[in-house]
């Protein structure tokens, strides 16, 4: 379903509520990765350039007690945002009340304010996270139109997304949300073929619904990472000390039958004796994993098999690292596959959805090699599962 975007409405002179995802990692009060701020800039700049009055807000971390409030203030983010915009951002250190209302009333066209962490409201009965109707209604009353640009929280029903949308006449997608809808939603709806899905990460149990959904849509599903071992076990192989979910072996058997040859697991792996960056690296056929070793990366033949499928693909969707890429010695599989996908950039739509997979590609310096790297971890996972995300559903249809 096509959704309205910020281009479909007039913002000049309007009080524009903009829900962004500024849930950035902080270490001792310092932002360690500002990607989410950078990604939100196009929407904010557009509103300001068009003469709108921007009222920006986000959640940051979890807020369970007063100490969390001090740790998770958005003030440092407002400062960084103002540096990026080269414009003053009025920071309002509360989430409601006269101070906020006065600041909104004082905004002129082309000016911007940001108020405090929406989850400060969670101290009072989880009003934000549980979407208390009074809160969404209150925030909606502060603005004329609502722009949702927070894909990272689109899988949650919060007061600051669906709560506001339910109480305002116009809700549209910002540029970032639009991009996620077009690339993930659009690709799953209508992929160019062959469509190769690549799934990895730690556990089958985290990804069952993604596997099931992509098995329906993709032409080939390549599986690596920790979850591969539950499949190997289902095929009758011993997996040594590798990650194994015993209670998911039956499910893996069913998925293999259902897949009817669509699932490709390769046939060798890199192993080590310990879950340790320094452990010695061996190559093993999957039929002969020693009892005292664990699989920590896909093997060289498997890399080559996966690469063959990737080279012919017109669409690639990738979720989950193929090995323990955090250990340089076991990052070869994930890195080779990232390079291989980057190599088909000109002929295919290539998408990464998944927090750790995105982090891996960014760490390898290969982000430019992809059509789209999703900004949402949990949200992209649920989107790939084929679920309707409340934060997208609440946006007006075209």
Binding-site member from 356, 358, 374, 391 for Mg ion (CB under 5 A): 356
163/320 with CB nearer ligand ADP: 320
Q: What are phi and psi of 330, to 5 degrees?
A: -115, 25
Residue 57 bridge partners (DSSP): 19
- Least distance between ligand ADP and beta carbon 294 (Å): 7
Task: Give the shortest CB-290-to-ligand ADP separation in angstroms.
Answer: 15
State the sign of the Cα–Cα–Cα–Cα dihedral 19, 20, 26, 29: negative
Q: Is 200 a catalytic residue?
A: no
Neighbours of 343 (CB within 10 A): 15
Strand partners, 115: 92
With the CA atoms of 308, 312, 316 and 320 taken in that order, what torsion angle do they form, in degrees rounded to the nearest 10? 0
The yes or no reply on residue 52 touching Mg ion (CB under 5 A) is: no
Q: Is there a contact between 398 and 8 (Cβ–Cβ < 8 Å)?
A: yes
Residue with tokens 């997996």: 239
Which does residue 202 bind out of ligand ADP, Mg ion, none, counting CB within 5 to 8 angstroms by kind? ligand ADP
The nearest distance, CB 362 to Mg ion, in angstroms, is: 14
Question: Of these residues, 163, 174, 225, 355, which one is catalytic?
Answer: 355
Alpha-carbon gap, residue 333 to 307, rounded angstroms: 10
Which of Mg ion, ligand ADP, none does residue 225 bind to, with CB < 5 to 8 Å depending on kind?
Answer: ligand ADP
Is 36 tagged catalytic?
yes
Give the tokens for residue 299: 């093997």
Residue 357: contacted member of Mg ion, ligand ADP, none (CB under 5 to 8 Å, by partner type)? ligand ADP
Give the nearer residue to Mg ion in terms of CB position, either 61 or 300.
61
* Cβ nearer to Mg ion, comparing 182 with 367: 367
Interhelix angle for 75-85 vs 35-49, to 10°? 60
Cβ proximity to Mg ion: between 295 and 354 the closer is 354
**Pairwise CA distance, residues 46 & 36, whole Å:** 17
Minimum CB distance to Mg ion, residue 210 (Å):
12
272 binds, among Mg ion, ligand ADP, none (CB under 5 to 8 A by kind): none
The encoded tokens of residue 391 equal 């934060």
The Cα 144–Cα 133 span in angstroms is 18
Q: Which of 191, 355, 369, 391 binds Mg ion (CB under 5 A)?
A: 355
Q: Does 295 bind Mg ion (CB under 5 A)?
A: no
Exactly one of 203, 284, 301, 329 is catalytic; which is it? Answer: 203
Report what 72 binds from Mg ion, ligand ADP, none; CB cut-off 5-8 Å by kind. Answer: none
Closer to ligand ADP by Cβ: residue 52 or 225: 225
Question: Smallest distance, Å, CB 48 to ligand ADP?
Answer: 33
Angstrom distance (rounded) from CA 52 to CA 375? 25
Residues in the chain: 398
Comparison of 121 and 356: residue with beta carbon closer to ligand ADP = 356
Shortest spacing between CB 226 and Mg ion, in angstroms:
11
Q: Is 185 marked active-site?
A: no
Question: Residue 91 or 229: which CB sits closer to ligand ADP?
Answer: 229
In sequence order, the 6+-apart residues with CB closer than 8 A to the CB of 382 are 155, 389
Q: In the complex, which residues of this chain contact ligand ADP (CB under 6 A)?
A: 200-202, 206, 225-226, 243, 295-296, 319-321, 323-324, 326, 354-357, 377
Q: Smallest distance from the beta carbon of 198 to ligand ADP, in angstroms?
A: 11
DSSP H helical ranges for the chain: 35-49, 66-71, 75-85, 98-106, 133-141, 164-165, 175-180, 186-189, 204-217, 228-234, 249-259, 300-312, 332-342, 355-363, 378-384, 390-393
Spatial distance between the Cα atoms of 117 and 142, rounded to a whole number of angstroms: 16
Stretch that binds Mg ion, among 88-96, 148-156, 261-269, 351-359 (CB under 5 A): 351-359
Q: How far is the CA of 61 from the CAs of 118, 119, 240, in angstroms?
A: 10, 8, 38
Sign of CA dihedral 392, 393, 395, 396: positive
> Phi and psi dihedrals of 146, rounded to 5?
-125, 125
Stretch that binds Mg ion, among 178-186, 350-358, 368-376, 387-395 (CB under 5 A): 350-358
382 binds Mg ion (CB under 5 A): no
Whether 96 is catalytic: no
Task: Tell me the longest C-alpha to C-alpha distance in the chain.
Answer: 71
Query: Which one from 3, 14, 19, 36 is the annotated catalytic residue?
Result: 36
Q: Nearer to Mg ion by C-beta: 162 or 228?
A: 228
Of 177, 182, 172, 180, the closest CA to residue 396 belongs to 172
* Contacts to Mg ion by CB under 5 A: 355-356
Residues labelled as active-site residues: 36, 203, 355, 378
């Amino acid at each position: 379903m096509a959704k309205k975007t910020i281009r479909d409405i007039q913002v000049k002179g309007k009080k524009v509520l903009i829900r962004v995802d500024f849930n950035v990692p902080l270490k001792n009060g310092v932002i360690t990765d500002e990607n989410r701020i950078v990604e939100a800039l196009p929407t904010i700049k557009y509103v300001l350039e068009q003469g709108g009055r921007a009222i920006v807000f986000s959640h940051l971390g979890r807020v369970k007690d007063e100490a969390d409030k001090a740790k998770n203030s958005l003030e440092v983010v407002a400062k960084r945002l103002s540096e990026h915009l080269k414009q003053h951002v009025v920071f309002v250190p509360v989430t409601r009340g006269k101070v906020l209302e006065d600041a909104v009333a004082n905004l002129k066209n082309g000016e911007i304010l940001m108020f405090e962490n929406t989850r400060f409201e969670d101290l009072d009965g989880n009003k934000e996270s549980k979407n208390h109707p009074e809160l969404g209604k209150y925030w909606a009353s502060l603005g004329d139109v609502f722009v949702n640009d927070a894909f990272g929280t689109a899988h949650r029903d919060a007061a600051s997304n669906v709560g506001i949308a339910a109480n305002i006449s116009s809700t549209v997608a910002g540029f970032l949300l639009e991009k996620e809808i077009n690339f993930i939603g659009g690709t799953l709806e209508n992929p160019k073929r062959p469509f190769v899905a690549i799934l990895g990460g730690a556990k089958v149990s985290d990804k069952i619904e993604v596997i099931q959904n992509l098995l329906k849509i993709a032409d080939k599903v390549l599986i690596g990472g920790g979850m591969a071992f539950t499949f190997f076990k289902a095929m009758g192989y011993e997996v040594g000390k590798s990650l194994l979910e015993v209670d998911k072996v039956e499910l893996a058997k069913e998925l293999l039958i259902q897949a009817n040859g669509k699932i490709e697991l390769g046939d060798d792996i890199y192993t080590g004796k310990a879950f340790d960056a320094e452990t010695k690296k061996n190559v093993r056929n999957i039929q002969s994993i020693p009892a005292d070793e664990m699989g920590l990366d896909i093997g060289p033949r498997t890399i080559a098999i996966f690469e063959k499928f990737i080279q012919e693909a017109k669409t690639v969707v990738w979720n989950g690292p193929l090995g323990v890429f955090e250990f340089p010695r076991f990052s070869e599989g994930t890195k080779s596959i990232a390079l291989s996908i980057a190599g088909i950039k000109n002929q295919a739509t290539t998408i990464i959805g998944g927090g750790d997979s995105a982090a891996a590609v960014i760490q390898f310096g290969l982000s430019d090699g992809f059509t789209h790297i999703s900004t949402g971890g949990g949200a992209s996972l649920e989107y790939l599962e084929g679920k309707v995300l409340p934060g997208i559903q609440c946006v007006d249809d075209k």
